[in-house]
Structure 1
Amino acid sequence: MTTVPSFTLRAPRYPEDAEALATVLTAASPDWPTTAENLLRWQATRNPELFHTEVLAERDGQILGAGAIGHDDFSFEEWRYWGNLGVHPDYRHQGVGTALFDELLRRVKERGAREVRTMVSGSDRDAPGRAFLDHRGFRVAWERFESELHTASLDLGTFDPLMARVADAGVQLVPLSEVLGWPEGRRWLHELDWQLFQDVPMGTVLTKRSLDQWVKDELEDPALQPELSFVAVRPGQQDPLTGPLVGYSTLGLNPGGFYYIGMTGVLRAERGQGVAKALKIAAMRALDARGGGLIKTFNDAPNVAMLTMNEALGFQRTNTRYRYELHLDGA
């Protein structure tokens, strides 16, 4: 019989553990790598009013895995929590994931947790993770499709008529970097984002973040590429909440070298004119001018309109991400 060396659980120490944690979490989830800088920034900007706790497993100074759980700031309920954990592939099947999970679940149960959510990829690599959740009573509650394209695969000139129609309709596509310099730009974007998300079918009731927290989370995220993100503006319109802004689309850059679409949306009154598609084309053209790159996008299964648009643009579906939910006793 082989004896597996023991390990200990402890709280992470920042900034000392950041580099090693990023290495472990990236090895555990190589499709979405992270960095020490990302982890430290999140620690510095997360909402301190919401519960959050972390734990890592360590053996002889080596971090084997880590997990975190806290209030779901995107869909807040006092009894709902969102958790993630990852174990380095070299240290799996040694009880590390079970120990991390049990400790995190114990902490939120003490707080009266009724529901725990997480997201797992449908890739073959993540089959053990899905089995881990199934064994512990989690069930799939939602699907999100992942698609991708490379700008080199497109003839962006074929979209000239669309871009002309949008311009003729009086809508200007302005780089986000420019809008951020407007005195009311951040406030308008905050309100626009909130209104747009109301129409995204995500299978959950959303929570509106404060302007300050939203700016920290979204606009000050180093991954955001303001010069590759675009805002649809109707000059002369002055809505009390959104000003002249009628839509926007963002691109972020992952440490893995690929880009991802963070949000694309257009106000209801402006739909049906091709503005959303034009926003994405503007971003693709800006990225192509920079040298091009791979773009990933993530859309919830009921969002048929956006899925159809992305397919028309040339996005190819590559994966499905599953939101798992665990409903605890009394939930």
Structure 2
Amino acid sequence: MTVIVRDLHSDAIADIEGFVRVRHAALPYMYFSPESVRHHLSLTPARARYRALVAEEDGEIIGTAQVGLAHESPEPGQGWLNVYVDPARTGRGAGTLLMRTAEEHLAAHGATHLYAWVLDEPGYRAFAERHGYRASRSAHFLVLDLAHTELPPLQNPPAGVELRTAADFADDPRPLFALDAEAGSDEPSDIDTELTDYDAWVAEYWKHPHLDLELTSVAVADGRPIAFSLAHTNGVGRYGTGMTGTARAFRGRGLAKLVKNDSLHRARAVGYTEAYTGNDSDNGPMLAINKWFGYEIRATEVRHVRELG
């Protein structure tokens, strides 16, 4: 049986379904849909050199990779690749072929440092190390049983602050872009990011098919967003927090708890039963907030890096 690696065909239903199936089998804590896969393929900026790859054995997709340049980083040469193989189909060489193809693509476009998330399990970490990657930072996947966990009671906003939703900014999301750019630049990461391209942000993030404007809670002061908790939903019970952030001048006032609690309560009220999120291991304040809500760590990934040349 021969394994081949090729580009994902966005117009092939079997390709998209196979990609989603493998990702959910290998990484059930993140949600992919045909719409989100096509979204990334069509709307990621050209300068990201983004590719979605599949490993195929006898016509069946058994592995996937997402590959690109960190186009939002001020430092050039930062590449990333995330490779996942169906846990039931490992040991066939799919992971190695996907990684090799991804590395060749990134090197051809000037990448000097390659970053890859690897599940914190002995076999996966050993695979990365055999291919020249060294462990760096880690991050956790957290899950909350939203249907059966008692959430903290809702609180009134402090004086001068009101709670709104992202839907209130549908006509002009630029204020949320500014807040996301500020909060996101302070997120712990191996790769620094700078959100400077508003149009690209709208296309890639604001128009993401899973973004739920109604369940994204925003704290506003003097007409300006100062904290937000971004909600992604699948419409049938699964809710995820894409990002919770607060403007620097307003941190330490409990606003992250305020907006996330508001969003979680409203998500449960409309029928969502599972809540997912992720946190860098060094993000102590957000880990403490999620523990306060009742989230539990279900898995950990370790960022690995390889330097080329």
TM over 0.5: yes
Alignment size in residue pairs: 307
1:60/1:304 CA distance change after superposition, 3 Å: closer
Q: Hey, what's the Cα distance between the residues in 1 that align with 2:64 and 2:210?
A: 23
Q: Which residue of 1 aligns with 2:241?
A: 261
Q: Which residue of 2 aligns with 1:270?
A: 250
Deviations 1:224-263 (A, max 9, x none): 12111111111xx3xxxxx522111111125895322111
- Report if aligned partners of 2:164, 2:217 keep a CA contact under 8 Å in 1: yes
Q: Which residue of 2 aligns with 1:9?
A: 5
1:133/1:175 CA distance change after superposition, 3 Å: same
- Does residue 91 of structure 2 align to residue 85 of structure 1? no
Q: Hey, what's the Cα distance between the residues in 2 that align with 1:67 and 1:248?
A: 31
Q: Which residue of 2 aligns with 1:21?
A: 19
Structure 1 residue aligned with 2:153, among 159, 176, 182?
A: 159
Q: Which residue of 2 aligns with 1:218?
A: 205
- Report if aligned partners of 1:173, 1:231 keep a CA contact under 8 Å in 2: yes
Instruction: Single out whichever of 91-100 and 24-33 deviates more from structure 2.
Output: 24-33
> How is 1:212-251 mapped onto 2 (pairs within 5 angstroms)?
212-234=199-221, 237=222, 244-251=224-231
* TM-score between the two structures when normalised by the length of structure 2: 0.88
Computing the radius of gyration over CA atoms, which structure comes out larger, 1 or 2?
Answer: 1
Structure 2, unmatched stretches of 5+, are none
Q: Which residue of 2 aligns with 1:63?
A: 61
Instruction: Single out whichever of 221-230 and 246-255 deviates more from structure 2.
Output: 246-255
- Report if aligned partners of 2:238, 2:274 keep a CA contact under 8 Å in 1: yes
- Report if aligned partners of 1:71, 1:77 keep a CA contact under 8 Å in 2: no
- Report if aligned partners of 1:233, 1:244 keep a CA contact under 8 Å in 2: yes
Q: Which residue of 2 aligns with 1:35?
A: 33
Instruction: Single out whichever of 313-322 and 26-35 deviates more from structure 2.
Output: 26-35
Which amino acid counterpart does residue 48 of structure 1 have in structure 2? A
Structure 1, unmatched stretches of 5+, are 238-242
Q: Which residue of 1 aligns with 2:98?
A: 100
- Does residue 139 of structure 2 align to residue 144 of structure 1? yes
* TM-score between the two structures when normalised by the length of structure 1: 0.83
SS of the equivalent of 2:105 reads: helix
Q: Hey, what's the Cα distance between the residues in 1 that align with 2:276 and 2:104?
A: 36
Q: Hey, what's the Cα distance between the residues in 2 that align with 1:81 and 1:203?
A: 11
Q: Which residue of 2 aligns with 1:72?
A: 70
Q: Hey, what's the Cα distance between the residues in 1 that align with 2:275 and 2:42?
A: 28
SS of the equivalent of 2:153 reads: helix
Deviations 1:142-170 (A, max 9, x none): 111232222344444x534xx23x24x12
> How is 1:159-238 mapped onto 2 (pairs within 5 angstroms)?
159-160=153-154, 163-164=155-156, 166-167=157-158, 169-181=159-171, 185-234=172-221, 237=222
Instruction: Single out whichever of 59-68 and 185-194 deviates more from structure 2.
Output: 59-68
- Report if aligned partners of 2:238, 2:272 keep a CA contact under 8 Å in 1: no
Q: Hey, what's the Cα distance between the residues in 1 that align with 2:201 and 2:116?
A: 22
SS of the equivalent of 2:267 reads: helix
SS of the equivalent of 1:145 reads: strand
1:31/1:148 CA distance change after superposition, 3 Å: closer
Deviations 1:28-68 (A, max 9, x none): 33333423222112111110132233443334433333334
- Report if aligned partners of 2:65, 2:84 keep a CA contact under 8 Å in 1: yes
SS of the equivalent of 1:302 reads: coil
- Report if aligned partners of 1:73, 1:207 keep a CA contact under 8 Å in 2: no
Instruction: Single out whichever of 243-252 and 61-70 deviates more from structure 2.
Output: 61-70
Identity %: 28
SS of the equivalent of 1:75 reads: coil
- Report if aligned partners of 2:3, 2:92 keep a CA contact under 8 Å in 1: no
Q: CA deviation at 1:12?
A: 2.9
- Report if aligned partners of 2:143, 2:275 keep a CA contact under 8 Å in 1: yes
SS of the equivalent of 1:149 reads: strand
Q: Hey, what's the Cα distance between the residues in 2 that align with 1:114 and 1:13?
A: 28
- Report if aligned partners of 2:6, 2:54 keep a CA contact under 8 Å in 1: yes
Q: Hey, what's the Cα distance between the residues in 1 that align with 2:235 and 2:167?
A: 21
Which amino acid counterpart does residue 268 of structure 1 have in structure 2? R
After the TM superposition, list the runs of 4 or more consecutive aligned residues in structure 1 that deviate by more than 6 angstroms.
none
Q: Hey, what's the Cα distance between the residues in 1 that align with 2:276 and 2:300?
A: 12
SS of the equivalent of 2:46 reads: coil
Q: CA deviation at 1:76?
A: 5.5
Q: Hey, what's the Cα distance between the residues in 1 that align with 2:54 and 2:149?
A: 44
1:85/1:204 CA distance change after superposition, 3 Å: closer
1:146/1:90 CA distance change after superposition, 3 Å: closer
- Report if aligned partners of 1:32, 1:254 keep a CA contact under 8 Å in 2: no
